[in-house]
Structure 1
Amino acid sequence: MNIDFDRSKIVKEIHIRWADYGASAKGRLIAGKEVKSPLDIPNEESVSVITVGSQVSAISLRIEGDMARVIDYTVIYNDSSLRELNSVNYDFSLPYYNKQEMFKWSENIGDRYLVLLFFGTWCSSCHERLPVVSKLAEKYPYVNFVAVSAGNSGPDVIQEMFDTLEVNLECIVDPEYNVCAQLNVIGVPEIKIFDLDGNLVKEGNLKEPELVEFLDSIDRNERSEVGEPLEDFTLEYYDNEDTYTLSENVGEKNTLLLFFTTWCTVCRLEIPAISEKAHEFTEKTRIIAVAAGEKKEDVKTFFKEKGIDLECLVDTDYKLIKQLGLTAVPQQILLDVKGNVIFNDNKSHEEIFHILGNL
């Protein structure tokens, strides 16, 4: 991470405020060509004071490991009355490897969590991690996954790597390692996760179990709570132009919403299984499938192919998915007669039948 400061002045000290990150870490500050004393970063919110005492052209911070995060820092000049307080700036722009467009960090914050996977085409561990993350991108379509190629690998090299590994991710390139330095990427593979407000909430050489656990926690933390009314929404049916509005349909029966996609392997098994026995529960519960990010024609084809007989709405632009904070499919939300959430989870059709049978 690069430190912003006035290069015309002599820097006396840098005060760095660390977030409470749950574990201790190591770091170092580089002022010009001089490496300052190693930093012992405690596992709680704290401040490190590093003496510089000279006029330099560049100051950067390097964190060893993945368990530390900077909240902000203060630059104090030789005249102690002069100081600057800086929040960490994550904003950047990088080109895509395969199209004449720029990826802008600021334009990708707000709608979805952003996962950046930094990799090198020469890195064997990256060859293992990229396919894993690519598959997770399919499982969590409401999280924005972007690969970042560190170094000057050309587009042909990246494309060959992606083809060989069957990776289907958007990819941008950081040929001069500028963004790597800005975001304190010390080695690859490295993952940085930003929340809806642009805060860096998770980082490090995250392997699949840890990454899945975190992605699932996003869903749990942001979904509607049990006992609370579900936010109102309106969607079109997949087979006509009519619309369904939740608030106009509560009051008579419970409502089970089944969120799915036509390409999700689990969904392709669970939705037909639920459809097969849905008629046994319609006296008390209205069962409605919700196709996430799907076109009507694709849903029609899927329903015909699998012989599915369910009401179905289409959330083509993920508007409802984002509204409810869902990040993975399949997902089910069961509402009581008043529209309050009974459960909001990913359950098997057997578990769903058991719950519906006891209503």
Structure 2
Amino acid sequence: MRARLEWFALIALTALVGAGWIYVSREANTGLGPTPLTTAPYVGNLAPDFTLPTIDGQAVTLSDFTAAGTPVVLNFWATWCPPCRVEMPYFESAATRHAGEIAILGLNQAEPAEAIAAYARDHGLTYPLLVDADMKVNNLYGVLNLPTTVFIDHNGIVREVLIGTINQGVLAERIEQLMD
């Protein structure tokens, strides 16, 4: 009977500590209305908007593309990521093939613009490469693994999130689906 009482006390203490942790670590909602979305985008929901500079300092805003009815492919990458390096030529080819029909944006993970520009120059990349120096957009999108690719339709709705390297055929298929 005593062992049962000890287990009950342990479970109650654990529940109390857990509830206290949830209370202390909750996010405060300082405004009126619902708490803003702070987690990664979900398929079927609006993609979180952002503005980032390109490697040459021009500002790029996601909603500018979707407001114009242009689908977007976001590819989160880094120069030090071998799987990212494998798929970069596929994104370059797709950006050239579908210029004006779809926006392909490479979001670099916390590297300086100079390093990204050197990589682009050395590998012949011409599509927009964005600098996410403080990883705000990487965190906004919940990117934990590289590469990660997010497919967004012309209405700004996330249609698919693929984690890991994708091949040229899969990329072409997903782009065709976005353009339908």
In the superposition, the TM-score normalised over structure 1's length comes to: 0.40
Over 3 Å counting, the alpha-carbon distance change for 1:49 and 1:323 in structure 2 is same
Q: Which has the larger radius of gyration?
A: 1
Over 3 Å counting, the alpha-carbon distance change for 1:287 and 1:86 in structure 2 is closer
- Between the aligned partners of 2:4 and 2:16, the Cα distance in structure 1 is 11
RMSD: 2.9
Aligned to 1:281: 98
Aligned to 2:175: 356
Higher relative contact order (CA 8 A, sep 6+): 2
CA displacement at 1:277 relative to structure 2:
3.6
- Between the aligned partners of 1:345 and 1:223, the Cα distance in structure 2 is 13
Please state which structure has a larger fraction of its residues in strand: 1
**Aligned residue type for 2:17:** S
Q: Is the 8 A contact 1:262 1:299 kept in 2?
A: yes
Aligned to 2:61: 245
**Aligned residue type for 2:157:** N
Over 3 Å counting, the alpha-carbon distance change for 1:322 and 1:279 in structure 2 is same
CA displacement at 1:15 relative to structure 2:
5.5
Give the count of matched residue pairs.
158
- Give the 4+ runs in structure 1 shifted more than 3 A: 12-16
Q: Is the 8 A contact 1:15 1:73 kept in 2?
A: no
SS of corresponding position for 1:249: helix
In structure 1, runs of 5+ residues without a counterpart are 1-11, 17-47, 51-69, 75-84, 92-109, 111-195, 198-221
Q: Is the 8 A contact 1:223 1:344 kept in 2?
A: no
Over 3 Å counting, the alpha-carbon distance change for 1:14 and 1:248 in structure 2 is farther
1:87 to 17, 23, 30: 17
**Aligned residue type for 2:56:** D
Over 3 Å counting, the alpha-carbon distance change for 1:224 and 1:13 in structure 2 is same
SS of corresponding position for 1:329: coil
2:159 to 333, 342, 352: 342
CA displacement at 1:86 relative to structure 2:
5.1
Over 3 Å counting, the alpha-carbon distance change for 1:317 and 1:15 in structure 2 is farther
Q: Summarize the alignment of residues 209-224 of structure 1 with structure 2, pairs less than 5 Å apart.
A: 223-224=40-41
Identity between Structure 1 and Structure 2 (%): 23
- Cα deviation per residue 1:262-310 (whole Å; 9 max; x = unaligned)? 1000001111232134211224211111101111011011111111111
Please state which structure has a larger fraction of its residues in helix: 2
Over 3 Å counting, the alpha-carbon distance change for 1:338 and 1:301 in structure 2 is same
SS of corresponding position for 2:48: coil
Q: Does 2:89 correspond to 1:272? A: yes
Over 3 Å counting, the alpha-carbon distance change for 1:288 and 1:86 in structure 2 is closer
- Cα deviation per residue 1:53-105 (whole Å; 9 max; x = unaligned)? xxxxxxxxxxxxxxxxx76528xxxxxxxxxx8516xx9xxxxxxxxxxxxxx
- Between the aligned partners of 2:149 and 2:54, the Cα distance in structure 1 is 18
**Aligned residue type for 1:352:** L
CA displacement at 1:253 relative to structure 2:
1.0
- Between the aligned partners of 1:291 and 1:323, the Cα distance in structure 2 is 14
- Between the aligned partners of 1:72 and 1:317, the Cα distance in structure 2 is 41
**Aligned residue type for 1:87:** V
**Aligned residue type for 2:110:** G
SS of corresponding position for 2:173: helix
In the superposition, the TM-score normalised over structure 2's length comes to: 0.75
- Between the aligned partners of 2:139 and 2:107, the Cα distance in structure 1 is 13
Q: Is the 8 A contact 2:109 2:135 kept in 1?
A: yes
1:262 to 72, 75, 79: 79
**Aligned residue type for 1:273:** Y
Aligned to 1:327: 144
SS of corresponding position for 1:355: helix
CA displacement at 1:239 relative to structure 2:
1.7
Aligned to 2:42: 225
**Aligned residue type for 2:167:** S
Q: Is the 8 A contact 1:14 1:73 kept in 2?
A: no
- Between the aligned partners of 2:45 and 2:81, the Cα distance in structure 1 is 29
SS of corresponding position for 1:87: helix
Over 3 Å counting, the alpha-carbon distance change for 1:49 and 1:292 in structure 2 is same
